[in-house]
Amino acid sequence: MQEFDLVFVISNFEFFKSHRRSLILFLSNSNKKIALITNLSRADQQDIEQLKKKNISLFDYHLNRSSIGIVTNILDVFSLYKILSKIKFRKLTLISSKPIVLGSFCSLFLNIDKIFIIISGLGYAFISKSLKAKSTKLIVLMIYKVIFFKKDIKVVFQNEDDLNYFLSKRIVSKNKTKIIRGNGVDTNKFKRKEYPGKLTFLFASRLLIDKGIREYIEAATSFSNENASFIIAGDIDEENPNSLKASELNKIQELSGIEYMGKVPYSDMQELFNKAHIFVLPSYREGLPQAALEAGACSMPLIVTDVNGCRDCIINGETGFLVNLKDAQDIKEKMNFFIKNTHVIEKMGNKSREYINDKFSEDKIHKQFLSMYQED
């Protein structure tokens, strides 16, 4: 039976690659033997080989992210338990809602010293007003309350707002919690090379309604092409009920004032950031938006919503601007400020990079995770 120091369960490989890859490589380099359980269907062979060379063992696990059906979830629990029961480990890390719920059920039948729960954001169920979302939220909170009662739990939050929400609902006791701000940013990789000629705004994210894509489009299309350029990078997420539909995506591609680049591989994100001046993410709620942090490291002023997670990314008025939730007019006004005051972009961008480097550098965040795993 294979034995590991740390086991991670992550819903899909793409999220791992953009949000947790550098952390797991760092832990592996710190003499931790690691197993990664995730959906490998979209992982290319080069990524897999690189991880294996770092002595990281991979286990393929196909999780139905969107289903709340009882039968589907029982099958998902059973599939995960089959993997976990065949390896030996003491510390289990569960990231995002579905892995947290399913992995915690599996832990009831396994001998584990400590479970680390990473709350990377509260997502669709906590944002949408639909009956399905409200029902899902109620179920998730009830399950969390039961799970977090276990004494061998450490719950990691990315921002104070989410932590305070859980404490106010008495879902978890404070002594079981910790704040680690995100995943860390490689500021040596993400940096400014040069600014493009024409003033350019960038939205880069999955094309989810709660990422503020509709508000971005409404604001962007109110300007003439002479004033600025506007880019959208990202794709629909068919497994997410909050995703744009294919018909809406077709309409985006037809818009004359916006350049739609489709899905950009994570390896090309630094190059993408260097094609624009201002990063815009009018999201409805975040844990801590990785793309916004990486854009800031590339000396981009940020326009983000004044909501959980997003507000942690900037110093309002100094490294960018906060905008009101679901307010395209406010986004337009902040865009217009940069159009009329292009001379402030480089100064605000440089301050944005300084702020990200000081608060969210990979070195700082990774050491906090390593310390947590060593303490517990």
Residue 189 placed within a domain: no
Do 75 and 163 belong to one domain? Answer: yes
Q: Is residue 168 domain-shared with residue 27, that is, in the same domain?
A: yes
Residues 169 and 72 in one domain: yes
Q: Are residues 115 and 249 in the same domain?
A: no
Same domain (yes/no): 147, 19: yes
- Is residue 87 one of the residues assigned to a domain? yes
**Looking at residue 133, what is its pLDDT?**
63
CB neighbours (10 Å) of residue 315?
Answer: 14
Structure tokens at 210: 């709660």
318 located within any domain: yes
C-alpha dist (Å) from residue 48 to 13, 28, 39, 93, 266: 10, 15, 12, 20, 15
Same domain? For 46 and 84 the reply is yes
Kindly report the CA angle at 290 between 37 and 370, in degrees rounded to 5?
Answer: 55
CATH code of 82's domain: 3.40.50.2000
Tokens standing for 3? 């034995």
* pLDDT for position 273: 97
The answer on 352 and 228 residing in a single domain is yes
Q: What pLDDT shows up at residue 366? A: 96
Instruction: Please state, in angstroms and rounded to a whole number, the distance separating the CA atoms of residues 208 and 221.
Output: 19
Q: Virtual CA dihedral for 324, 326, 328, 333, nearest 10 degrees?
A: 0
- Are both 344 and 251 inside the same structural domain? yes
Domain residues for the domain of 317 are: 200-360
Q: Residue 143's pLDDT is what?
A: 81
93 backbone dihedrals φ, ψ, rounded to 5°: -115, 125
The 10 Å Cβ neighbour count of residue 189 is: 14
**Residue 192 located in a structural domain:** no
Residue 122, in any domain of the structure? yes
Q: How far from chain centre, in Å, is Cα 64?
A: 19
Classify residue 218: in a domain, yes or no.
yes
Number of domains in the chain: 2
Beta bridge partners of 281: 304
Per residue, the 3-state secondary structure of the chain, as one string, reads: CEEEEEEEEECCHHHHHHHHHHHHHHHHHCCCCEEEEECCCCCCHHHHHHHHHCCEEEEECCCCCCCCCHHHHHHHHHHHHHHHCCEEEEEEEEECHHHHHHHHHHHCCCCCCEEEEEECCCHHHHHCCCHHHHHHHHHHHHHHHHHCCCCCEEEEECCHHHHHHHHHCCCCCHHHEEECCCCCECCCCCCCCCCCCCCEEEEECCCEHHHCHHHHHHHHCCCCCCCCEEEEECCCCCCCCCECCHHHHHHHHHCCCEEECCCCCHHHHHHHHCCCCEEEECCCCCCCCHHHHHHHHCCCCEEEECCCCHHHHCCECCCEEEECCCCHHHHHHHHHHHHHCHHHHHHHHHHHHHHHHHHHEHHHHHHHHHHHHHHC
- Residue 348 dihedral angles phi and psi, to the nearest 5°: -65, -35
Domain match, 219 and 246 both: yes
Q: Does the residue 190 lie in any domain?
A: no
164 and 220 co-located in one domain: no
Domain shared by 156 and 207, yes or no: no
Question: pLDDT digit of tens for each residue in the chain (376 aa)?
Answer: 899 999 999 988 988 988 899 999 999 998 889 999 999 988 888 899 999 999 999 999 987 765 666 777 788 889 999 999 999 998 999 998 889 989 988 988 888 889 999 998 766 556 556 666 677 777 778 888 888 887 789 999 999 988 998 999 899 999 999 999 999 999 999 999 888 889 999 999 999 999 999 999 999 999 877 779 999 999 888 777 788 888 888 888 787 789 999 999 998 999 999 999 999 999 998 889 999 999 999 999 999 999 989 999 999 999 999 999 999 999 999 999 999 999 999 999 999 999 999 999 999 999 999 999 988 6
| Same-domain status, 118 and 40 | yes
In a domain, 277, yes or no: yes
- Is residue 32 within 8 A of residue 373, CB to CB? The reply is yes
Return the amino acid letter for 196. Answer: P
Distance of CA 184 to the CA centre of its chain: 11
Residues 6+ apart with CB under 8 A from 53: none
